[in-house]
Amino acid sequence: MTLARSKPWSEDTVCEPERAAYDRDFYTWTLEQAALIREGRFAEVDRENVAEEIESLGRSEFSRLVSFYSLIQLHMLKWEHQPNLRSRSWANSIELHRMHAAEALEDYPGLKSRVDEAVVRAYRAARLEAIRETGLSKKVFPETCPFTLDEMLMRPYDFD
C-alpha cells in the first residue's frame, strides 16, 4: 500500500493541475479548499465535502458536550451508589466537567437548544460506564437519568 505524500503547502500548490483528492490526502485537500475560498474561486471548491466537514465540526462540538455531561453523570452515579469510595478525584471531575460544559455552551450558544438531548445521550453512556466501573448490577442504576440539569450543574460535591 502506498501512502499519499503531501508537498508543503504554498499558494502555488492550489494551481497544480492534479488536486489532492479528499479521500487520498485530507490534509492537503483542506489547505487547497481554504486557499480556494480565500481567493474567491468558489466554482473550484469541493462544495459537498466542504459542507460535510463544516457539519462534522458542529457534530463534534455537540459530542464534546455529551462527553462532559457523561463524565459528570458517571461520577454522580458513583458518588451516590458507592458512598464508602467517595474521593476528591470524583468531586474534582464533576467540577472540572461542569466548567468544560459551561464553556462549551458559552463558546457555542447554538448548543443550548440541544442540552436536553445531550443529557439523555450522556446518561446512556454514563450508566454503562458506571455498571462497568462499579461492578454493581445494572438494576441498581435507573434506565433514565435520575438527575435534573440543575442537579448536574449545581449540586455541591465537597470532599473533606
DSSP H or E stretch at residue 122 = helix 115-134
- Is the confidence at residue 132, as pLDDT, over 80? yes
In angstroms, the CA 93 to CA 154 distance is 14
Residues 6+ positions from 72 with CB-CB distance below 8 Å: 93, 94, 97, 98, 101, 122, 126, 152, 153
137-160 pLDDT, tens digit per residue, is 999 999 999 999 999 999 998 876
Mean pLDDT of 122-139: 98
Q: For residue range 45-55, what is the model confidence (pLDDT) as tens digits? A: 999 999 999 99
Distance of CA 54 to the CA centre of its chain: 15
Residue 6 has pLDDT above 60, yes or no: no
Ordered by start, the domain boundaries in the chain are 14-45, 60-154
- The residue type found at 28 is T
For the chain, give the mean pLDDT. 89
C-alpha cell at 137: 448490577
The pTM score is 0.79
105 in helix, strand or coil?
Answer: helix
Predicted confidence at residue 1, as pLDDT, reads: 40
